[in-house]
Amino acid sequence: MKLNTSGYILAILAVLLQTTFAIAQKEVWIGPAKEDSPKTVTVRILPNANSRSMIDKLADSTAVLQRRAKEYVSTPIKFKVSEGACSIEQVVPGKYSLELPALDFDTSIQIPRTTENDVTLIVRLKKDGISAKVLLAKQ
């Protein structure tokens, strides 16, 4: 039996269509967020009337979450009216050191295991110091 060029092409195409290709695929979770999935952390900075100098130091600086050898650096801190904010992406739940290098501030915080995708850190600037508190998105 003699095959012409188009016959060869059709035969090869038929074999290819019947062959299973192993293609590397990334598993994508489409259900609710898992408790241990990475979070987007929003850092909200709430100054008081006596913290103008702290605001000036923090504007356009960054916040850092440090855990073991892993460091998560925020977007630049931007102030609107009197409240500052920045965000840190893909933070895995666990215990971290929250650092504001511009103020030489460092404290321990816990990013909780939760099905929420967003976590907020509230940083209050006070005359007598700085405090930090973790809130979940629903609070």
Task: Tell me: pLDDT of 1 over 60.
Answer: no
Separation CA 24–CA 102 (nearest Å): 44
Poorest-pLDDT segment among 54-63, 101-110, 129-138: 129-138
Task: Tell me: pLDDT of 42 over 90.
Answer: yes
Domains of the chain, start order: 39-136 (2.60.40)
Count the neighbouring beta carbons within 10 Å of the beta carbon of residue 27: 4
Task: Tell me: pLDDT of 60 over 90.
Answer: yes
Confidence of residue 51 (pLDDT cuts 50, 70, 90): confident
Query: Listing from the earlier edge strand, what are the strands of the sheet with 94-100?
Result: 70-73, 64-67, 94-100, 105-111
Chain-centroid distance of CA 5 in Å reads 55
38: Cα within 13 Å, side-chain hemisphere: 6
Structure tokens at 20: 């299973």
Site of tokens 């241990």: 36
Confidence of residue 2 (pLDDT cuts 50, 70, 90): low
